[in-house]
């Protein structure tokens, strides 16, 4: 089951946030985005310090309640998906969202200003929703 999707800029600004299938609604979206961004930075730093040389960072981690999948582009954008813990690795899915949707419908959009909220790019948000809602685990709990 998919719970949230985020895009963060290099400067940690949340450019996009989508939510589905959550049982507990978010009380403070801005605070939640700030916590997720800080967690990403901490986990990335931890992975680089504890991992072997040339460790690029982390791709996912799990708790008993959720799993966080992450993909960081060479330009510093971070794409994040939170799911139930049984969902398999989504690194390739996030790469596909970046390459096929974000680059095509946001970065190449002449009306988009770098650093703006991505929700202004309606073609992107529509295609993102459609893409994620067609994943086999979108609204189904997966057993670990």
pLDDT per position as a tens digit, 82-95: 999 999 999 999 99
pLDDT, mean of residues 100-109: 95
The pLDDT of residue 120: 85
Question: Binning pLDDT at 50, 70 and 90, where does residue 127 land?
Answer: very high
pLDDT at 144 > cutoff 60: no
Q: What is the average pLDDT score of the chain?
A: 89
> Would you call 43 exposed, middle or buried from its count of C-beta atoms within 10 A (0-12, 13-18, 19+)?
middle
Say if residues 2 and 137 touch (Cβ distance below 8 Å): yes
Q: Say which residue, 15 or 41, is predicted with more confidence.
A: 15
pLDDT, mean of residues 30-58: 83
CA distances from 57 to 65, 68, 72 (A): 22, 13, 9
- N residues, the chain: 144
Residue range 46-73, pLDDT digits in tens: 887 887 877 677 788 898 999 999 999 9
pTM comes to 0.89
């Amino acid at each position: 089951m998919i719970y949230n999707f985020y895009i963060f800029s290099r400067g940690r600004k949340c450019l996009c946030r989508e939510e589905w299938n959550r049982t507990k609604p978010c009380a403070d979206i801005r605070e939640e985005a700030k916590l997720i961004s800080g967690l990403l930075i901490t986990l990335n730093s931890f992975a680089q310090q504890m991992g072997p040389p040339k460790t690029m960072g982390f791709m996912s981690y799990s708790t008993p309640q959720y799993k966080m999948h992450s993909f960081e582009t060479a330009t510093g954008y971070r794409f994040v998906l939170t799911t139930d813990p049984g969902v398999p690795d989504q690194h390739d899915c996030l790469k596909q969202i970046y390459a096929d949707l974000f680059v095509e419908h946001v970065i190449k959009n002449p009306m988009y200003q770098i650093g703006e909220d991505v929700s202004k790019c309606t073609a992107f948000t529509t295609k993102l929703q459609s893409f994620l809602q067609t994943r086999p685990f979108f609204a189904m709990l997966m057993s670990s």
